[in-house]
Amino acid sequence: MKEVTLKVPEQKLHFFMELIKQLGIEVAEDQDIPEVHKTLVRERIKETKPEDYIPWDEARKQFNLKGR
């Protein structure tokens, strides 16, 4: 199944959503990121020391090795 993202003018949204509903097309609702998750990530960013960082090339190698 393919996923498509559309931009619909605000004044046409109701009509568009009714059309989608009539056609039986599945609609995924916007999913906001919970505040607790945002807070957790912000805390981790604050607590991370620059010496803990690794270059992207090295990180990519580590990901590739884990996938094998």
pLDDT (tens digit, 9 = 90+) per residue, 14-58? 999 999 999 999 887 777 889 999 999 999 999 999 898 999 999
Does the pTM of the predicted model rise above 0.75? no
pLDDT of residue 40: 96
- What's the confidence (pLDDT) of residue 63? 87
Query: Has residue 66 got a pLDDT over 70?
Result: no
CA atoms within 13 A on the CB side of 38: 4
pLDDT of 67 higher than 70: no
Which residues, including other chains, have CB under 8 Å from residue 28's CB and lie 6 or more apart? 3
pLDDT of residue 68: 57
Q: Could you give the CA distance from residue 12 to residue 30 in angstroms, rounded to a whole number?
A: 18
